[in-house]
A = this chain, B = another copy of it.
Amino acid sequence: MNRLCVHTITTKPWSLEECLVEYPRQGIGGITVWRNALAGRSLGDSARMLRESGLEVVSLCRGGFFPGADARLREHAVDDNRLAIEQAHAIGAPSVVLVCGAVPGQALEVSRAQIAEGIAKVLPDAIAAGVRLLIEPLHPMYADDRSAVNTLRQANALCDRLGSPEGLGIAVDVYHVWWDPELREMIELTARAGRLDAFHLCDWRTPTVDLLNDRGLMGEGCIPLAQICRWVEQAGFRGFREVEIFSNRWWSTDQRDFLKRIVAAYREAITEVGAEG
């Protein structure tokens, strides 16, 4: 249980204050903070609240969205990523998750070059702040407008292209990669390269009725969670298992009840893994 982390977006109706009261009550050990949860108070106040909660701050979500049709937009994205790095540093988050970005109608190879360029620009800031940038390959159904980085193979190639610097890692989210015929070997490759920094859980529902906000609670869908958890564990990963669920359905229910279901589903999903909780 001490390795269970919940993303604030998972309980989207709650303020950060509510998350910090409710998560520890359920025995949850970590929190990944979405930037919208920081709005409305000083960074110092957020940092203090997080420290006092006893939760470990696992990551800040999210930076990225580097591609843009003109240089001004891309420079704005770079500035925003610098801000994300500052915010992560201030709240004690060791990493910023990157949703790399894409522009509908712009060639993917152009977006991919702009992503590499954007990451290269902000990497020195990340390294100086002691914050790692985590490339999260997104499901190919988001290649139009959310990310032109869509497989673990590609995310690893991007790290290589950038010289595999110390400040760069990869976030593996089962929702985005579960289908990949190369999944196991790519998890192993990512770990061997010292880049397996984050591991996100949810499930894929059949049918999925909304491309963005119809993710399932673990066990509601078809992703072989225990198998993937095992692969990740065997690759040497010992970090938090982060529950990140975008769901209009779950967001419309009582969040305290939902959180209890998350804890139960997490226990169920990792029962077979044969590792400490």
Q: Which residues of A contact B (CB under 8 A)?
A: 104-105, 107-108, 112, 139-141, 143-145, 150-151, 153-154, 157, 178-181, 204, 206-209, 211, 221-222, 224, 227
Contact = CB atoms under 8 A, between A and B. Distances in A.
A28 B66 CA distance: 42
Contact of A181 (B112, B144, B178): B112
Please report whether the interface of chain A is mostly helix, strand, loop or mixed according to DSSP. loop
Contact of A107 (B112, B208, B227): B227
A179 B224 contact: no
B224 A140 contact: no
Q: How many protomers of this protein does the assembly include?
A: 2
A107 B181 CA distance: 11
Contacts of A180: 140, 150
A20 to B, nearest CB: 34
A58 to B, nearest CB: 27
B211 A150 contact: no
Given A140-B139, A140-B140, A206-B144, A179 B108 contact: yes
A179 B150 contact: yes
Nearest to A102: B222
A151 B151 CA distance: 11
Contacts of A150: 179-181
Contact of A143 (B104, B112, B151, B179): B179
A219 to B, nearest CB: 10
A215 to B, nearest CB: 13
A69 to B, nearest CB: 13
B141 A208 contact: yes
Contacts of A141: 139-141, 208, 211
A1 to B, nearest CB: 26
Contacts of A206: 104, 144-145
23 contacts: A104-B206, A104-B221, A107-B227, A108-B179, A108-B181, A108-B224, A139-B140, A140-B141, A140-B180, A141-B208, A141-B211, A143-B179, A144-B206, A144-B208, A144-B222, A150-B180, A150-B181, A151-B181, A153-B181, A154-B181, A157-B181, A207-B211, A208-B211
